[in-house]
Amino acid sequence: MLKRLFVGAMVATSGSVAAQTTDAVILDPLLVTSPRSESDWLTLPMAVSTSSAKDQPGEQLLTLDSLLAPVPGAVSQSRYNLAQGMRLSIRGFGARSSFGVRGVRVLVDGVPLTMPDGQTEMDGLDASLIERVEVIRGPSSTIHGNAAGGVLSIETRQPSETPRTELEITGGDLGYRRARAETSGTVGSIGGLLAFSSTHLDGYRPQGTAETNNLTGKVRWQGEGGVLSATLHAIDNRAEDSGALTRAQVRERRSQARPQSLQFDSDEWIRQQRLSLVWDGEAVGDDSYQLRSYYGRREFGNRLPLLANGQTSFDRWFAGVGAQRTFRREWLGLPNQLTVGLDLESQRDERSRNDNLIGGTTGALTQRQRESADSRGIFVENQLSLTDAWLLTTGLRYDSVRLEAKDRFLSDGDASGGQTLDDWNYSLGLSRQLGPHHVVYARYATSFETPTINELANPGGGGFNPSLGPAQATNREIGFKGEHPGLRYEAVLYSMRIEDELVPVVDGRTFYTNAGRSSRDGIELSAQWLAGNYWRLTGAWSYNDYSFDRFDSYDGNRIAGIPRQSLFAELGYDREDWYARINATVHGHQYADNANESRVSGYAVTNARIGWRLADGNQRWEPYLGIDNLFGRDYYDNLRINDNFGRYYEPAPGRTLYAGVKLTFN
């Protein structure tokens, strides 16, 4: 019945498409800020994608998968296992992660969400406040430093000019319940925003319950010479972990939990507070500058489905400061934009490990150490308009990352140690405008990526793994972009070579090693078309040929965890009083292990949304309904790469429904 409702809603309006396509429909100008200074998307010689939350109404937002689906080259996994968190890869960077995000630099309102060691946990973000995301696809260390195989820049809602309050409640299958409240406004030069959200999920499989609580407060002051923004974000989360299954267990019953996850009560809990301050200032003429800082604390504990070293906890303090200035002057009579800056970041972890006894009881202490990461970076980026048609961009950056471990569990010897990893990286881009609507460009860029503190865990005991080093990547790409009224599109061909790629190896816990050399070649296509006043068609396709060139006995094998092809297509209909969307995400086959013995078949998942906008005086009601996996396909929500005994698979649920209502007061 619900499928017929969605299909009928889409078909009922299709008769008006021909009449509407003759209307003048113009896409808004697209400026991007994920490079260090604001740039025009069309002429920038770089593969950058954007996605707006206003184009994705009625979303569940358990993770950012719906906002990232239209980005070619980006693959998001682990939507339903909140203990693992969203796993994001961009052109293969981040696919190695056993949880969270690696290899991708994440910024929120210009401030790093990524930790100084390169690790990112997306739980430190209230997804309901997101307004826009930008994704730089490919190595970007010259812009944002360590762990920049790609950049995810997130813009969240700022205090409104007039008083505004929003209430929302949602519920659905899998025990999904969500409530949120938000209020904001501005008086004189000071604006404020306060938001709270609470989400509960029972999960598809046993031992899958999760509860997340987010509190965000913002203050924004408009001064004569700039804008000061302060943001405080706090979370209190707990999530169980159903674990991964073997293929035989999936065939037996795909909805079961891993027996050891039940036996050892596998879960995690997190409490975090984070304060950021940003000053965006106006300088002489058109020059601008930014000062930014952040400070926070994260408390963490988990129980893994194993006895030895099965419980981990840490108390983390982290902080960072950054500054940059952009000079907009002529150079040799040519328009020029020069940005220089620095980043200083630090974290301290007091970490301990215990055995995890049956039932999740804490056993004997097995490790205690203090871990630290200190990162320093200086950079320069330049954009020079050679003519009205030619744009040259250059970048240079130096990073130094100091990682240390101080052993405080000396009964088995002193495993203290540390290492400093540093590198120079550079980029060069050139674009040529072919008339008013088309641009062709080429780009060459390098990047480096240190292991995170967690990835440096020593398989032999405490301290750091002395054999693990940083990965280095070289990226070459050529692209073609176009903008017409109502139409925007891009095609990119790229080739990368990675030295010492970081690869997971599982022995109870997950450890890491370096692959000698690997290659990544691919094609990315994307487009957005406004067909008349109400219709929007969005599409993205990527083809990936990723393989190990030199890595033990795996030479020539495909890199695990990355589909050969990915496709996203969405048809949306959006009027003032109602909207409907239907989309499909298709992934080709991939492998779950380095040996390429476990081939994971491709799949296609279809989702649909419908909602209404009702006005009553100063109140606006928005009831909505969503169906995920409309046709009930069997697929995997997450793959645990190279896990022991073939435990790779986390099955996704079948067809799931949710419904909600949003009430806004102005």
Residue 282 to residue 443: CA distance in whole angstroms: 31
Residue 628 to residue 653: CA distance in whole angstroms: 9
| CA triple 92-88-642, angle to 5 deg | 65
All residue ranges of the chain with pLDDT < 70 are 1-29, 460-463, 507-509
Residue 36 near residue 326, CB atoms below 8 Å: yes
Domain at 2-665: CATH code: 2.40.170.20
pLDDT at position 27 = 67
Q: Which helix (H) or strand (E) holds 17?
A: helix 17-20
Flag whether the pTM goes above 0.85. yes
pLDDT in tens, 52-64: 999 899 998 899 9
Tell me whether strands 471-484 and 636-639 are parallel, antiparallel or unpaired: unpaired
pLDDT at position 12 = 40
pLDDT in tens, 439-469: 999 999 999 898 888 888 777 666 677 788 8
pLDDT at position 22 = 40
- SS3 per-residue string spanning 451-499: CCCCCCEECCEEEECCCCCCEEEEEEEEEEEEEECCEEEEEEEEEEEEE
pLDDT in tens, 592-642: 999 999 999 999 999 999 999 999 889 999 999 999 999 999 999 999 998
pLDDT at position 479 = 97
The string of DSSP letters for 69-99 reads TTSTTEEEE-SS-TTT--EEEETTBTTT-SS
pLDDT at position 25 = 59
Phi, psi of 141 (to 5 degrees): -60, -30
What residue ranges do the domains of the chain occupy? 2-665
Residue 90 near residue 73, CB atoms below 8 Å: yes
